[in-house]
Structure 1
Amino acid sequence: MEDCAFCLPRIKPDIVLSDQLCYAIWTKQLPEGSAMVMPFAHRPTMFDLTPDEWSSTQRLLDEMKSLILRHHDPHGWNVGWNVGAIGGQSVFHAHCHLVPRYSDERYAGRGIRAWIKDPSNHPGADHRADSAADSAADHGAGHRAGRGASHASDHGAGRGVSHGAGHDAGHDAGHDAGHDASHDASHDASHRPGRGVSHGPGYDAGRVAGRVARHGASHGPGRGV
């Protein structure tokens, strides 16, 4: 076919080995030494090959393997066809991949089915992953909202009511009144004629008066606002 990249005459400059039915080329891609074998006739998939083309493909695979071993030292091989768009076939002219593998590759030890067997490749895997992500996001948002509400409640209007202006006013009034009454009573009593000590009856009376005044003021209208 004229528009096929693997048909003659377009492919002729790239041919490395050939017979009457098939040929081999380097892919010029990693891993080093990668090659392909395909028929000259335009066959859409490997299932369209004739028995003779199958035999030719096998012979050229063996020859290309020997050629690769002259220039490289692979530790394993992958050999196979991609068939159909879903199977990864990008050019619909059947071609068999011959891929040398090396022990220092990042994915050494993984075969051609490794990623196909991976659970993330199973039907519905994306949906399950999205559902799990949504569930985790909802859980995180709910947790943050709960913490925020609790924080707001702790620091809201209900907290600290007993520490408002009324409490402060009552406390100050009780303190001032009690202090003044105690001071005045103690002062007057301690300065009566004939007494010069502060621990007599006048002093005790002043202490009692001060406590009464403080108690009354601190339980007045200002407390409990």
Structure 2
Amino acid sequence: MTEDGCHFCDQQARFRKADVYIENDFCIFFAAMRDHELRAEAGLPPDVLPGSGAIIPIAHRTSPFNLTAEEWTATHDLLVKAREALHELLAPDGYTLRWSDMTGLHAHLHVIPRFHDEPMWHQGVRSSINVPENRRPDPWHPGIGRHSRKL
């Protein structure tokens, strides 16, 4: 079930071309790292927290409160796989997770890797991924991997 005119429904084929892409029967995860065009489409400045991505239900859901039990389980499964992929690539020091539940928009879960040398590590989600001043000294340098333990 998709919704015409919904960015997340309409762009799922584009998301499949992201630097990191994982899919199951109910949702997708994509993270734009070096794909500057996709980062720009998502409103992300280049080199600010590479690896920031989202888990999106394949079916058009306007709220996480509308997810089925199967979609919740699939979201969790994808979140664990996304964490493993991002940790292998970037060794973040932690993650910020935030659901977007805005009227009329496709619900999605932001998955944002966080780093000890990030200038705005203590500020909210929007400033962390959208503000050029939050660029790390070397955006591609791995973190110290404080979350390297298996779950």
Report the TM-score range of the alignment, normalised by the length of the smaller protein: 0.5 to 0.7
**TM-score relative to the length of structure 1:** 0.44
Q: CA deviation at 1:111?
A: 5.3
Match of 1:97 among 110, 131, 142: 110
Per-residue deviation at 1:12?
Answer: 1.4
Counterpart check, 1:59 vs 2:59: no
The equivalent residue for 2:5 is 3
What residue in structure 1 maps to residue 136 of structure 2?
none
Equivalences for 1:123-142 in 2 at 5 Å?
A: none
What pairs with 1:18-167 in structure 2 (closer than 5 Å)? 18-27=23-32, 28=39, 29=44, 30-84=48-102, 92-110=105-123, 112=125
2:15 counterpart letter in structure 1: D
RMSD: 2.2
What are the ranges of 5 or more consecutive residues in structure 1 without an aligned counterpart?
86-90, 115-225
Q: Deviation at 1:84?
A: 2.2
SS of structure 1 residue aligned to 2:112: strand
Letter in 2 for 1:94: A
Q: Give the helix-richer structure, 1 or 2.
A: 1
2: distance between equivalents of 1:74 and 1:109? 15
The CA distance in 2 between the partners of 1:24 and 1:32, in whole Å, is 14
| Bigger Rg, which one | 1
Does the CA contact (< 8 Å) of 2:101 and 2:108 recur in 1?
no
CA distance in structure 2 between the partners assigned to 1:73 and 1:103 by the alignment? 11
Q: Which one is further off, 16-25 or 76-85? A: 76-85
Q: Which amino acid aligns with 2:68?
A: T
State the number of aligned residues: 108
Per-residue Cα deviation, 1:117-153 (whole angstroms, up to 9, x for no partner):
xxxxxxxxxxxxxxxxxxxxxxxxxxxxxxxxxxxxx
Q: Which amino acid aligns with 1:25?
A: F
Equivalent in the alignment of 1:210: none
**Structure 1 residue aligned with 2:22:** 17
Aligned-residue identity in percent: 28
Q: Which amino acid aligns with 1:50?
A: T
Deviations 1:148-190 (A, max 9, x none): xxxxxxxxxxxxxxxxxxxxxxxxxxxxxxxxxxxxxxxxxxx
Deviations 1:47-84, CA, capped at 9 Å, x for gaps: 11111100100100110111111211211110121222
Q: Counterpart of 1:134?
A: none
Offset, 1:40: 0.7
